[in-house]
Chain A
Protein backbone atom coordinates (compact mmCIF):
# COMPACT_ATOMS: atom_id res chain seq x y z
CA UNK A 1 0.00 0.00 0.00
CA UNK A 2 0.92 3.65 -0.24
CA UNK A 3 0.75 4.46 3.47
CA UNK A 4 2.45 3.38 6.67
CA UNK A 5 1.18 -0.05 7.62
CA UNK A 6 1.04 -1.31 11.19
CA UNK A 7 0.10 -4.72 12.51
CA UNK A 8 -1.73 -5.96 14.35
CA UNK A 9 -4.45 -3.31 14.61
CA UNK A 10 -5.44 -4.62 18.02
CA UNK A 11 -3.51 -6.69 20.51
CA UNK A 12 -4.89 -7.98 23.77
CA UNK A 13 -2.53 -9.88 26.01
CA UNK A 14 -2.09 -10.85 29.61
CA UNK A 15 0.21 -9.03 31.95
CA UNK A 16 3.71 -10.46 31.85
CA UNK A 17 3.63 -11.54 28.23
CA UNK A 18 5.94 -10.14 25.56
CA UNK A 19 4.46 -8.36 22.54
CA UNK A 20 5.92 -7.37 19.19
CA UNK A 21 4.41 -4.58 17.12
CA UNK A 22 5.26 -4.22 13.47
CA UNK A 23 5.62 -1.18 11.25
CA UNK A 24 6.06 -1.15 7.48
CA UNK A 25 6.95 2.40 6.40
CA UNK A 26 6.20 4.10 3.11
CA UNK A 27 8.52 2.82 0.42
CA UNK A 28 11.63 4.96 0.15
CA UNK A 29 11.24 6.59 3.54
CA UNK A 30 14.51 6.41 5.41
CA UNK A 31 13.31 7.85 8.71
CA UNK A 32 11.03 5.87 11.01
CA UNK A 33 9.53 6.91 14.33
CA UNK A 34 7.59 5.22 17.10
CA UNK A 35 5.15 7.10 19.32
CA UNK A 36 2.82 6.07 22.12
CA UNK A 37 -0.56 7.71 22.59
CA UNK A 38 -2.51 7.33 25.79
CA UNK A 39 -6.26 7.88 25.74
CA UNK A 40 -7.07 11.59 25.60
CA UNK A 41 -3.45 12.60 25.08
CA UNK A 42 -1.21 13.54 22.20
CA UNK A 43 1.38 11.08 20.89
CA UNK A 44 4.63 10.87 22.84
CA UNK A 45 7.91 10.06 21.14
CA UNK A 46 9.56 6.73 21.84
CA UNK A 47 12.37 6.22 19.34
CA UNK A 48 13.70 7.17 15.90
CA UNK A 49 15.61 5.33 13.17
CA UNK A 50 17.57 6.70 10.27
CA UNK A 51 17.87 3.76 7.90
CA UNK A 52 18.78 0.87 10.21
CA UNK A 53 20.49 3.03 12.82
CA UNK A 54 18.59 3.86 15.97
CA UNK A 55 19.46 7.53 16.31
CA UNK A 56 17.35 8.46 19.30
CA UNK A 57 15.81 6.20 21.91
CA UNK A 58 15.38 8.81 24.58
CA UNK A 59 11.63 8.29 24.77
CA UNK A 60 11.68 4.60 25.59
CA UNK A 61 10.26 4.48 29.13
CA UNK A 62 12.40 1.64 30.47
CA UNK A 63 14.47 -1.33 29.41
CA UNK A 64 11.42 -3.49 28.76
CA UNK A 65 10.95 -1.51 25.58
CA UNK A 66 13.17 -2.05 22.57
CA UNK A 67 12.99 -1.48 18.85
CA UNK A 68 14.87 -2.60 15.79
CA UNK A 69 14.95 -1.95 12.07
CA UNK A 70 17.57 -4.42 10.85
CA UNK A 71 17.33 -3.81 7.11
CA UNK A 72 16.34 -0.18 7.16
CA UNK A 73 12.73 -0.88 6.25
CA UNK A 74 10.32 -2.78 8.51
CA UNK A 75 10.61 -2.04 12.21
CA UNK A 76 9.53 -3.97 15.28
CA UNK A 77 8.78 -2.48 18.67
CA UNK A 78 8.99 -5.09 21.41
CA UNK A 79 7.65 -4.80 24.93
CA UNK A 80 8.81 -7.45 27.35
CA UNK A 81 6.98 -8.50 30.52
CA UNK A 82 4.05 -6.25 29.74
CA UNK A 83 2.31 -4.29 32.46
CA UNK A 84 -1.15 -2.73 32.52
CA UNK A 85 0.35 0.75 32.26
CA UNK A 86 1.69 -0.22 28.82
CA UNK A 87 -1.86 -0.17 27.45
CA UNK A 88 -2.04 2.53 24.78
CA UNK A 89 -2.12 3.20 21.06
CA UNK A 90 1.32 2.66 19.52
CA UNK A 91 1.88 4.66 16.36
CA UNK A 92 4.57 4.42 13.76
CA UNK A 93 5.48 7.23 11.37
CA UNK A 94 7.90 7.57 8.50
CA UNK A 95 9.41 10.40 6.51
CA UNK A 96 11.69 10.84 3.54
CA UNK A 97 14.49 11.91 5.84
CA UNK A 98 17.02 14.58 4.88
CA UNK A 99 17.71 15.90 8.36
CA UNK A 100 17.15 19.58 8.75
CA UNK A 101 14.59 19.82 6.00
CA UNK A 102 10.87 20.08 6.35
CA UNK A 103 9.95 16.47 5.69
CA UNK A 104 6.59 15.72 7.28
CA UNK A 105 6.00 12.54 9.21
CA UNK A 106 3.29 10.27 7.86
CA UNK A 107 1.54 8.17 10.46
CA UNK A 108 0.13 4.69 10.40
CA UNK A 109 -3.25 3.85 11.91
CA UNK A 110 -1.63 2.45 15.02
CA UNK A 111 -1.80 -0.69 17.12
CA UNK A 112 -4.11 -0.52 20.09
CA UNK A 113 -2.51 -2.56 22.87
CA UNK A 114 -4.53 -3.71 25.87
CA UNK A 115 -2.88 -5.46 28.77
CA UNK A 116 -5.24 -7.44 30.97
Chain B
Protein backbone atom coordinates (compact mmCIF):
# COMPACT_ATOMS: atom_id res chain seq x y z
CA UNK B 1 0.00 0.00 0.00
CA UNK B 2 1.10 3.51 -0.70
CA UNK B 3 2.12 5.77 2.18
CA UNK B 4 2.83 9.48 2.37
CA UNK B 5 5.10 10.99 5.00
CA UNK B 6 5.37 14.61 6.00
CA UNK B 7 8.21 14.79 8.48
CA UNK B 8 7.68 18.40 9.57
CA UNK B 9 4.66 18.74 11.86
CA UNK B 10 5.19 22.51 12.03
CA UNK B 11 7.12 25.12 10.08
CA UNK B 12 7.36 28.88 10.31
CA UNK B 13 8.47 31.55 7.88
CA UNK B 14 8.82 35.30 7.85
CA UNK B 15 6.54 37.22 5.58
CA UNK B 16 8.09 37.68 2.11
CA UNK B 17 10.58 34.86 2.70
CA UNK B 18 10.68 31.41 1.09
CA UNK B 19 9.80 28.16 2.80
CA UNK B 20 9.96 24.52 1.67
CA UNK B 21 7.66 21.81 2.98
CA UNK B 22 8.84 18.22 2.68
CA UNK B 23 6.93 15.17 1.52
CA UNK B 24 8.10 11.66 0.78
CA UNK B 25 6.03 8.73 -0.38
CA UNK B 26 6.36 5.01 -0.83
CA UNK B 27 4.97 3.21 -3.85
CA UNK B 28 5.90 0.43 -6.23
CA UNK B 29 3.98 2.05 -9.06
CA UNK B 30 5.63 4.01 -11.84
CA UNK B 31 2.71 6.19 -12.83
CA UNK B 32 0.79 8.30 -10.35
CA UNK B 33 -0.25 11.80 -9.36
CA UNK B 34 0.93 13.93 -6.48
CA UNK B 35 -0.90 16.87 -4.93
CA UNK B 36 -0.52 19.55 -2.32
CA UNK B 37 -3.67 20.71 -0.55
CA UNK B 38 -4.01 23.71 1.75
CA UNK B 39 -6.36 23.69 4.75
CA UNK B 40 -6.71 27.17 6.29
CA UNK B 41 -8.45 27.80 9.62
CA UNK B 42 -11.67 28.23 7.65
CA UNK B 43 -11.42 24.41 7.23
CA UNK B 44 -11.69 24.45 3.47
CA UNK B 45 -9.53 22.00 1.55
CA UNK B 46 -7.95 23.84 -1.35
CA UNK B 47 -5.88 22.31 -4.14
CA UNK B 48 -2.57 24.17 -4.38
CA UNK B 49 -0.62 22.30 -7.02
CA UNK B 50 -0.44 18.92 -8.75
CA UNK B 51 2.19 16.87 -10.53
CA UNK B 52 2.00 13.89 -12.86
CA UNK B 53 4.78 11.42 -12.20
CA UNK B 54 5.53 10.91 -15.90
CA UNK B 55 6.31 14.59 -16.34
CA UNK B 56 9.88 15.51 -15.55
CA UNK B 57 9.18 19.21 -15.41
CA UNK B 58 8.32 20.51 -11.96
CA UNK B 59 4.87 22.05 -11.64
CA UNK B 60 4.51 25.72 -10.75
CA UNK B 61 1.51 27.84 -9.82
CA UNK B 62 2.41 31.47 -9.25
CA UNK B 63 4.33 31.59 -5.92
CA UNK B 64 4.02 27.83 -5.43
CA UNK B 65 6.36 25.33 -7.00
CA UNK B 66 7.39 21.76 -6.39
CA UNK B 67 10.64 19.87 -6.42
CA UNK B 68 9.71 16.43 -7.68
CA UNK B 69 12.46 13.83 -7.33
CA UNK B 70 10.97 10.59 -8.63
CA UNK B 71 13.91 8.34 -7.85
CA UNK B 72 14.03 9.62 -4.30
CA UNK B 73 10.21 9.55 -4.04
CA UNK B 74 10.27 13.11 -2.81
CA UNK B 75 7.76 15.88 -3.55
CA UNK B 76 8.49 19.10 -1.71
CA UNK B 77 6.50 22.32 -1.92
CA UNK B 78 8.23 25.68 -2.13
CA UNK B 79 6.33 28.83 -1.27
CA UNK B 80 8.04 32.01 -2.40
CA UNK B 81 7.33 35.52 -1.12
CA UNK B 82 5.25 34.09 1.74
CA UNK B 83 2.10 35.97 2.65
CA UNK B 84 0.06 36.00 5.83
CA UNK B 85 -2.73 34.26 3.95
CA UNK B 86 -0.46 31.28 3.34
CA UNK B 87 -0.75 30.28 6.98
CA UNK B 88 -2.51 26.92 7.02
CA UNK B 89 -2.12 23.16 7.27
CA UNK B 90 -0.59 21.73 4.13
CA UNK B 91 -1.25 18.17 3.08
CA UNK B 92 0.67 16.14 0.56
CA UNK B 93 -1.35 13.48 -1.26
CA UNK B 94 -0.81 10.59 -3.67
CA UNK B 95 -3.12 8.96 -6.17
CA UNK B 96 -2.48 6.08 -8.51
CA UNK B 97 -2.85 6.61 -12.25
CA UNK B 98 -3.28 2.96 -13.04
CA UNK B 99 -6.33 2.02 -15.06
CA UNK B 100 -8.62 0.15 -12.74
CA UNK B 101 -6.69 1.35 -9.73
CA UNK B 102 -8.25 2.99 -6.71
CA UNK B 103 -9.35 6.57 -7.14
CA UNK B 104 -8.60 7.40 -3.53
CA UNK B 105 -6.17 10.03 -2.35
CA UNK B 106 -3.64 8.95 0.26
CA UNK B 107 -2.70 11.86 2.49
CA UNK B 108 0.18 12.66 4.78
CA UNK B 109 -0.41 13.92 8.30
CA UNK B 110 0.16 17.51 7.33
CA UNK B 111 2.49 20.39 8.12
CA UNK B 112 1.24 23.43 9.97
CA UNK B 113 2.72 26.57 8.44
CA UNK B 114 2.90 29.78 10.43
CA UNK B 115 3.73 33.05 8.67
CA UNK B 116 5.23 35.72 10.91
CA UNK B 117 4.74 39.41 10.03
Q: Using a CB–CB distance below 8 Å, which chain A residues touch chain B?
A: 31, 33, 35, 40-45, 48, 50, 55-56, 58-59, 89, 91, 93, 95, 99-100, 102, 104-110
Known A41-B109, A104-B47: A56·B91 in contact at CB below 8 Å: no
A33 to B107: give the CA distance in the assembly, Å. 14
Give the interface size bracket for B toward A: 20 to 34
Chain A residues with Cβ below 8 Å from B100 are 99
Known A43-B91, A99-B99, A100-B97: A109·B107 in contact at CB below 8 Å: no
Chain A residues with Cβ below 8 Å from B98 are 100
Question: Interface residues of B: mostly helix, strand, loop or mixed?
Answer: loop
Q: Using a CB–CB distance below 8 Å, which chain B residues touch chain A?
A: 4, 33, 35, 37, 42-47, 50, 52, 91, 93, 97-100, 102-110
Chain B residues with Cβ below 8 Å from A55 are 103
Contact of A45 among B33, B50, B97, B105 (CB under 8 A): B105
CB-CB nearest in chain A for B106:
A45
A42 to B104: give the CA distance in the assembly, Å. 13
7 contacts between A and B (CB under 8 A): A33-B105, A43-B105, A93-B45, A93-B105, A105-B47, A107-B46, A110-B45
A58 to B102: give the CA distance in the assembly, Å. 10
User: Do B109 and A42 touch (CB < 8 A)?
Assistant: yes
A83 to B52: give the CA distance in the assembly, Å. 39
Chain A residues with Cβ below 8 Å from B110 are 40-42
